[in-house]
Amino acid sequence: MTETKTFGYVRVSTKEQNTDRQIVVMQKLGINERDIFIDKASGKDFDRPQYQALKAQLRKGDLVYIVSLDRLGRNSDAIKKEWNEITTEIGADIVVTDMELLDTRKYKDTMGNFVANLVLEVLTFMAQSEREKTLARQAEGIAVAKAQGKHLGRPQLNIKTLTKQQRGDLEANFRAWETKELTGVQFMEILGLKKNSFYKITKEYKETIQ
């Protein structure tokens, strides 16, 4: 008989977010560190490397712990599809630690399944609704910033944003580059700029000295 295994799945949305709280929960459950799968990725879908690695290892009778349902994902239909694949097609169990009713080990009868499925429906709906609200707030923030003329994303590179060293190197080597004594690649390396930024800066500088 194949030995069953216990796994933990941890997810945060960005690389900057901390996974410690979820990992501590898994460790208190006695899950071995090598059996805790961690993704730092959006919950919009299940195209996540560690989740897919976990799923590939699951066998009938195995157990997966998740701290909360939204750590599994935030798309209602996708969550239910994955839940069904793990519990029905693979035959593993899932325990959501912050929701007692979402423990597939306990509810095997008809009424138990009905209650658990109802809770799953409600929670997946809430997870997706929260994601949609977050996206709406982000879109609203972007629209306001654009209306106010604020630049979004990385600061735009121009002569004024160059360092004192870069400005000096630009002034000292520009003529040599124009007369082809210095190649574009060499000049880029001196300035520490990538191709698009290099041509933007040199064009701007040329306009200032004409």
Active site residues: 13
Residue 100, number of CB atoms within 10 A of its CB: 10
Residue 159, number of CB atoms within 10 A of its CB: 15
123: which 2 tokens? Answer: 């929670």
- CA–CA gap between residue 121 and residue 1 (Å, rounded): 35
Cα 166 to the chain's mean position, in Å? 35
CA-angle at 60, arms to 57 and 61, nearest 5°: 105
Give one DSSP letter per residue of 36-76, joined into a string: EEEEES-SSSS--HHHHHHHHH--TT-EEEESSHHHH-S-H
